[in-house]
Chain A
Amino acid sequence: MKRYFGRKLLIYALTFFIAVTINWMIPRFMPGNPVDIMISRAGLRGSAVTQMYSYYMDAFGLDQPIWKQYLNFWIAIFHGDLGTSIFLFPTPVIQVIKDALPYDVALLLPSILLSWFAGNKFGALAARNKNLDNTLLPIGYILTAVPYMWLGILLAWVFCIVIRIFPLGGGYDFSMQPSYTWDFYWSLFNHWVLPFLSLFIVQFGGWAIGMRNLIIYELEADYSHFLEALGAPRKLIRNYAYNNAILPQVTGVALQIGVIVTGALATEVVFAYPGIGYLILQAIHNQDYFLLQGCFLFVVIGVLIANFVVDIAYILIDPRTRAGMTGGAE
C-alpha cells in the first residue's frame, strides 16, 4: 500500500510540476515578445499602455536570466500570486478565480456523484432486464457521443426559450445583489438546474453503460459460475457481481475527470454560468493570458485533488490494493 501510494504521489507531483512548467514555457517560447503581443491584442490606448507595459515587464521579469524567471514563477505560485487580470484590471487573478470556483464545485460535485450513483444503479438494473437493456443501451451510446455543449444548448433552447421554465445566463438574476435571502438562493438554484442537468445526463449515460458491461462481465467470471454450480440464488451472485463491478467504476471517475471538467467548461460557456469555464472564454476573448494560465493551473489542481480522493476511496474498498498489490487507477 505504501508503494502504491508513493507511486501515486510521485505521479501527481510530477504532473503538477510539468503542468506548471508548461504554463511557464508557453508564453516565453512562442514566437514574438509576449508583452508586446498581449498589449497590442488587448487594444489598450494612451497611459494604460505604459502602465500595463511596465507591469508586464515586471511580472514576466523578462530582463532576468531564464532560470531566475523560472524560479520566480514557482515562488510566485507558492505565494498564491498568479498575476493580475487584464480584463478585470487590477483584480488579481487568484481573486477572480476564487470568486468563480464555488460555481464549478456546485456544478461538478453533485453532477459527478449523482450521475455516478444513478448510472451504476441503472446499469445494474439493465444488466438483468432485457427490455430495459434494449432501450438503455442505444440511449446510452447516443449520450456518450453527445458533445456536452450541444446538450446544454438543446436544454437551454427547450427550457429557457421554448417553454420558459428556467432563466438563461448568469449564476443568478442580474437584477439581484448577492445576499443571504431565500430569493437569492432560489435564483441561484434556478440558474444552476440546467447546467447541472446537461452535465448529469451525459455522464449518466457513460456510467450506466459501463456498469452494465462490467456486471455482465462479472456474471461470466469463474467465481459466479462456481456459485451458480453450488446452487446459490441469483441474488447473491448479482450482489457479488455488483460489488466487484463498482471497483473499476471508481477508477473510472479518475480516468474521466479530465473529460468531465472540460465538459463543464464548455457547458458553462453555453449558460454563461460564471465558473472557471466562462472565465476561460472571457480570458480568450480579452487576450487575458494571466487569467487563462491561472485558470489552467486551477483546473490541474482540481483534477489532481479529485484523483487523490478517488485513490483513497479505492484503497478503502479494494482489499487487493490494501494488501500492497497494485491496481486501481494506475
Chain B
Amino acid sequence: MKKKNELLYFALRNTKLRIGMAVLLFFLLLMIIGPHLTPYKPADFVGPSSAPPSKEFWFGTTTFGEDVFTQFVYGLAPTFLVGIVGGVIGTLLGMLIGFVAGYRGGAVDEVLNILTNVVLTIPVLALLLVLVAYIPVRGVLIEAVFIGLTSWPWAARAIRSQTFSLRTRDFVGLAKMSGMSSMKIIFTEIAPNMASYLFMTFILMFGNSILNAATLDFLGLGPTEGVSMGTMMNLAVQWSALMLGVWWWFIPPGIAITCIVGSLYVMNVGLDEVFNPKLREM
C-alpha cells in the first residue's frame, strides 16, 4: 500500500506524465463530446466547397463541401480503437511468446526466437499492404487485428529477456518447488513483477498501432466505411487539397495523430521515471 502511494506521488508530480495525460484526455474528451457539438454527419454535404474555417464551419469544409470538424471528431474514435485493440493484441501476443520463450528456455526459446526475428525482419506494413489489398470489405477491427498480429516481435524480445532474468529469482524457485504449473508461475509470480514494464509496452504499442493504421489509411487501405485521421489525409491528398491550398483539410488530422502518439511516447518516458527510482530527478 505504501509503495503504491509512493508511485502515485511520483506519478502525479512527473511533468512528462502530466503533460502526456492532459493531451490524451483532451483528445479522448473531444472524441466523446465532439459528435454532440456538430449537427452534421461526416459524409453530409453541408456547405460550400473548400470554405476556409469560419464561425459556421470551425475547421472549414472539404472540396465536396463536407464539414472538416465533423469528420475530425468522428474520426477520432476509429483512431483510438485501432490503437487500443492493436495495442492489446500486440502486447498479449508479445507477452505470451516472450514469457514462454524466456521461462522455458532451451529449444522452445530457440524456435520462438527465430520466429520473432523473422517477423521482426519482414517489413510489416508492406505485408499488411498486400494482405489488406485482397480484402474487399474492411472494418476498423480487422485493421486493428492485423496490426496487432504483426507488431508483437519487439515486445516479445524485450519481455523474453526480462523473464529470463526473473526466472532464476528465489520466489520463482519457491513456486516451482511448491508444484505450481508453469502457466500459473508465469501469471502469478513473473508477470506481476514486471507489471510496470508490461504497461509501458502497451503504451508504446498503442502509439505504434495508431501510426501504422494512419499509414494504411493514408494509402487507401483503411476501413472501407467511415472516417479516420488517415483517410482524411488520404482524401485530402487524392483530391488535390495541396494544390488548392485547402490546408484546413489535412492539417487537423496530422496534428491529432502527432499529439496523441507524441503524448503516449512522452507518457512512456514519464512512467519510466516513475517506475525506475534511478531516473527520478532530484
Contacts and interface: CB of A to CB of B under 8 A. Distances in A.
A touches B (Cβ under 8 A): yes
Interface of A: 10-12, 14-15, 18-19, 22-23, 26-27, 30, 141-142, 144-150, 153-154, 156-157, 160-162, 168, 255, 257-259, 261-263, 265-266, 269-270, 280-281, 283-285, 289, 292-293, 295-296, 299-300, 303-304, 307, 330
B123 A266 contact: no
B245 A153 contact: no
B120 interface: yes
A145 B261 contact: yes
A215 to B, nearest CB: 15
Interface string B201-229: 00000010001001100111100000000
Interface string B91-134: 00000000000000000000000100110111111110111011
A147 B211 contact: yes
Interface of B: 114, 117-118, 120-127, 129-131, 133-135, 154, 207, 211, 214-215, 218-221, 230, 233, 236-237, 242-243, 245, 247, 250-251, 253-254, 257-262, 264-266, 269
A284 B133 contact: yes
Contacts of A153: 233, 236-237, 242, 250, 254
Task: From B121, B124, B260, B264, name the one whose CB has the most chain A CB atoms within 10 angstroms.
Answer: B121
Nearest to B131: A26
Contacts of B125: 258-259, 262, 265
Given A255-B120, A266-B219, A289-B133, A147 B245 contact: no
A147 B122 contact: no
A15 B122 contact: yes
A142 B258 CA distance: 7
Contacts of A147: 211, 214-215, 218, 230, 233, 254, 257-258
Contacts of A168: 242-243
Nearest to B259: A145
Given A12-B121, A144-B265, A307-B121, A292 B258 contact: no
A283 B250 CA distance: 24
Contacts of A280: 129, 219
A149 B233 contact: yes
B52 to A, nearest CB: 14
Contacts, number: 150
Contact of A148 (B134, B215, B261): B215
A295 B125 CA distance: 12
B123 A26 contact: no
A293 B215 CA distance: 19
Contacts of B269: 141
19 contacts: A14-B118, A27-B134, A142-B258, A145-B258, A145-B259, A145-B265, A148-B215, A149-B214, A150-B253, A157-B250, A258-B124, A258-B126, A262-B125, A284-B129, A289-B133, A295-B126, A299-B123, A307-B121, A330-B117
A19 B114 contact: no
Contact of A157 (B214, B242, B258, B259): B242
A142 B262 contact: yes
A303 B219 contact: no
A295 B127 CA distance: 10
A148 B125 CA distance: 13
Contact of B258 (A11, A14, A146, A304): A146
B129 A149 contact: no
A167 B245 CA distance: 15
A146 B237 contact: no
A300 B122 contact: yes
A81 B242 CA distance: 38
Contact of A284 (B211, B219, B243): B219
Contacts of A263: 215
Contacts of B211: 145, 147
A320 B215 CA distance: 38
Given A255-B154, A284-B133, A300 B123 contact: yes
Contacts of B242: 153, 156-157, 160-161, 168
Contacts of A162: 245
A296 B118 contact: no
A10 B114 contact: yes
Contacts of B123: 257-258, 261-262, 299-300, 303
Contacts of B254: 146-147, 150, 153-154
The 6 closest A-B pairs by CB, nearest first: A150-B254, A145-B262, A258-B123, A262-B125, A145-B261, A299-B126
Nearest to A140: B265
Contact of B237 (A15, A269, A293, A330): A269
Contacts of B154: 255
Task: From A141, A156, A257, A281, name the one whose CB has the most chain B CB atoms within 10 angstroms.
Answer: A141
Contacts of B120: 255
Contacts of B118: 11, 14-15, 18
Given A142-B258, A161-B242, A255-B154, A266 B121 contact: no
Nearest to B215: A266
A149 B124 CA distance: 17
Nearest to A216: B279
Nearest to B126: A299
